[in-house]
Amino acid sequence: MSLNYIKNFYEGCLRPPTVIGQFHTLFFGSVRMFFLGVLGFAVYGNEALHFSCDPDRRELNLYCYNQFRPITPQVFWALQLVTVLVPGAVFHLYAACKNIDQEEILERPLYTVFYIISVLLRIILEVIAFWLQSHLFGFQVHPLYMCDAIALEKTFNVTKCMVPEHFEKTIFLSAMYTFTVITILLCVAEIFEILCRRLGYLNNQ
């Protein structure tokens, strides 16, 4: 039975009951993760090593980089991807334990409501992630960062730091914002598809 649960859970995650949901899984699972995993490492992989301040001292560079990046973008976006997956994964785990077929989800009102709630939670989590990203990283990476290093040593005061590949990072930031917006729009469209199909089931009855 446990293998059957795993199989149902796996199929539910890969093949949601809606067409838009299946496209969202493809978009989410392939394009977004590939973009983050491959290009994200290329753009941000060695950022800390090339982040330099004036004077170029190791302890100053590390202090200012930690101030510049309270959390690294790769870690933030990885947490975002995992967090957004949780509502859908919980629903499909519930469906697998109850042996609910994907076709049944939109036919039974209770299952439909649970599925819509999982989609709404995905939207809320994406909106929160968008807001957090805008506050942590902004919408543009500037070539210079003014670091307040007086806590490290009084002689430093405000120090200029060079941000490597700032233009590439700005493009990558814009792409991640775009992915988040597309995901939100897909979730909204999926809810409309669910409602339309539910109306179709009711009319057929």
Each residue's pLDDT tens digit, 101-121: 777 777 777 888 888 999 999
| Sole residue written with tokens 């001292």 | 57
pTM of the prediction?
0.82
Tens of pLDDT along 179-204?
Answer: 899 889 999 998 988 888 777 665 56
The answer to whether 36 and 72 are in contact (CB under 8 A) is no
Q: Is 157 helix (H, G, I), strand (E, B) or coil?
A: coil
Tens of pLDDT along 44-86?
Answer: 777 878 888 888 788 888 888 888 888 888 888 888 888 988 8
The answer to whether 94 and 113 are in contact (CB under 8 A) is no
